[in-house]
A and B are shown apart, each in its own frame.
Chain A
Amino acid sequence: MNCSTGRLLSVIDPPPKDPTLSQAIEWMMNALREEGFEVLMCGRSALDYQGEYTGSIDADILIGADFRGASSLLDAYVSRGDLVLVGGTQSSVARYMVRGEKPVDVIDVSSVHSKLFNMLWRDASAQVDLGTAGKVPAVTREGYFVLAIMIGLKGFAREKADPMMKVREAWAMFGKRTDGARVNAMLEELKARITLEEAATNQAAE
């Protein structure tokens, strides 16, 4: 039973034994989409699937709405032993280990900006082939910057000593290939009062 919606959950087959990272991400995507959750792959691993070479060993998934509902669904898989919840550092990020091995972070950005997920979905995502999960929307380079800047301004990175560090890192790796005007237009729509260049060169917002 889904705690937040009160409806019965459909549960998919367990993930393969000793899954690869790709299989782990595919399985998480399948589990969430089976229940109708709108999800976006994000972070550097999403860019790797689009031909960049930036990523780390985990994967990140953004939840569009009803983060609590998604957590309840994933709890069912935790109970079955498919996932291990290793706890997020913040309430808006939860880290799950598929089969106890492969890390996938599930992220809620609704508290950062109510329009952020839909904007990324609409204006800054591309379809990537993800094996058994089929075509999956993944945040583009432009979307990566918008997300990193917004999380630095209003999300969990705000508490860090340098909230824009991830923006600067990304700028060094793929800033040249990024459509800065598009990023700035999205930031303006979100009323962020900062440009990509300002965030990447560490000029203070507001």
Chain B
Amino acid sequence: MVSIFQYTLLNESVQRLAQSWHVNPGQAARRIRDLPFIILSHEDSRGGGRGRPCRRITLDAEWRFWDKAGAKPLGKLVAFLRLLHALGEPFALGIPFTSALWRPFLHPEIRILAPPETYSIWVRLFAGGIGRLSVVVELLPYPIEVDEVDGLPVLAPPMALVDALQEFERVPNLNLLALADWIAHHLPAIDAARQFAALHGLNGDLSYLEDHRHRGDMRVLKLPEAREAHARAAEMSRVFAGTTFDELLDREAAVRD
């Protein structure tokens, strides 16, 4: 996988990036033109061929997503995330994108999980918010499985369950618990979540979601909320599953600038 963010940290040349992508430097430059936080610089550069200075990939240190987000930040963010994913940047998305694994819903916090090498860039560019919507960047401690959903790299279900619990601790939206409950009951390979859950002290919560008779050492879950979430998961499961996350973006599109 080619990480443009890592290339900016190393101040790599466009030529090197082009080699990684198996395209010519002109094509590589065109591909990253839609990323406003990447600058092609000519400073201190040698080796561009035929006497020309080579172009290097640099991060625009002043660029912040929230300065440019406007009245419809979610749609803009999704566009950037899709582009970065299409260009091979490694990252994973948690809530609310993981809700597409079940029945999509919106949530006021967006969780991006970034690998250690590029975590600081993600925080610099995208962390923050505008009151109604914010982005939280979390560390991806080790490479984990992602599913591609609507052109976005979304955490695979076992990790999505743990991510939903983590977010519930921050913003107690019961839809998050309903998602976690549904994943625990309906999707296989929950074992893959154990290491991730243990890392966040959520083993007890995970055990309860797997089997509601296990009620020891829960950190996030409380029984009345867990019961209500279970009921909500059952109710929502009766809704036709053909809705995409993009359809919820229509609601943002209706907001007046």
B248 touches A55 (CB 8 A): yes
Q: Which of A48, A56, A165 contacts B225 (CB 8 A)?
A: A165
| Interface pick from B49-57, B169-177, B187-195, B211-219 | B169-177
The reply to whether the CB of A161 lies closer than 8 angstroms to some CB of chain B is yes
Residues of A within 8 A of B255 (CB): 49-51
What bracket does the count of chain A residues touching chain B fall in?
35 or more
**How many A-B pairs fall under 8 Å by CB?**
95
Q: Which of A22, A54, A89, A103 contacts B173 (CB 8 A)?
A: A54
Q: Which of B25-39 contact A (CB under 8 A)?
A: none
A51 touches B132 (CB 8 A): yes
| Interface pick from A72-80, A148-156, A166-174 | A166-174
| Interface pick from A8-16, A94-102, A191-199 | A94-102
The reply to whether the CB of A160 lies closer than 8 angstroms to some CB of chain B is yes
Query: Within the complex, what minimum Cβ distance (angstroms) separates B164 from chain A?
Result: 14
The reply to whether the CB of A85 lies closer than 8 angstroms to some CB of chain B is no
Residues of A within 8 A of B247 (CB): 20-22
Residues of B within 8 A of A165 (CB): 174, 224-225, 228
Residues of A within 8 A of B104 (CB): 57
A103 touches B250 (CB 8 A): no
Query: Within the complex, what minimum Cβ distance (angstroms) separates B254 from chain A?
Result: 5
B251 touches A55 (CB 8 A): yes
Q: Which of B135-188 contact A (CB under 8 A)?
A: 171-175
Whether A162 touches B250, Cβ cut-off 8 Å, given contacts A103-B239, A129-B256, A173-B173, is: no
The reply to whether the CB of B71 lies closer than 8 angstroms to some CB of chain A is yes
What bracket does the count of chain B residues touching chain A fall in?
35 or more
| Interface pick from B10-18, B105-113, B200-208 | B105-113
Residues of A within 8 A of B96 (CB): 53
Q: Which of A21, A45, A169, A177 contacts B172 (CB 8 A)?
A: A169
A55 touches B105 (CB 8 A): yes
A162 touches B228 (CB 8 A): yes
The reply to whether the CB of A190 lies closer than 8 angstroms to some CB of chain B is no
CA distance A92 to B245 in the complex (A): 29
Q: Which of B85-141 contact A (CB under 8 A)?
A: 96, 103-108, 131-133
Residues of A within 8 A of B106 (CB): 48, 53-56
The reply to whether the CB of A128 lies closer than 8 angstroms to some CB of chain B is yes
Q: Which of A53, A162, A168, A172 contacts B133 (CB 8 A)?
A: A53
B71 touches A51 (CB 8 A): yes
B236 touches A57 (CB 8 A): yes
Q: Which of A48, A103, A131, A169 contacts B248 (CB 8 A)?
A: A48
Q: Which of A100-147 contact B (CB under 8 A)?
A: 100-103, 128-131
CA distance A173 to B106 in the complex (A): 11
CA distance A54 to B171 in the complex (A): 11
Whether A21 touches B243, Cβ cut-off 8 Å, given contacts A56-B103, A129-B256, is: yes
Residues of B within 8 A of A51 (CB): 71, 132, 252, 255
The reply to whether the CB of A1 lies closer than 8 angstroms to some CB of chain B is no
CA distance A56 to B164 in the complex (A): 15
Whether A160 touches B240, Cβ cut-off 8 Å, given contacts A21-B250, A52-B108, is: no
The reply to whether the CB of A181 lies closer than 8 angstroms to some CB of chain B is no
Residues of A within 8 A of B68 (CB): none
Residues of B within 8 A of A172 (CB): 171-173
Whether A161 touches B243, Cβ cut-off 8 Å, given contacts A53-B107, A173-B108, is: no
Q: Supply 30 A–B pairs (Cβ within 8 Å), ascending by A.
A: A21-B248, A22-B251, A48-B252, A50-B255, A51-B255, A53-B96, A53-B106, A55-B248, A56-B175, A57-B236, A57-B248, A97-B239, A101-B240, A101-B242, A101-B243, A103-B239, A103-B240, A130-B254, A131-B254, A161-B224, A161-B227, A161-B228, A165-B174, A165-B224, A165-B225, A169-B174, A172-B171, A173-B108, A173-B171, A173-B173
**Sorted from nearest, which 8 A-B pairs have the closest CB atoms?**
A48-B251, A22-B250, A56-B105, A53-B106, A21-B247, A101-B240, A51-B255, A53-B108
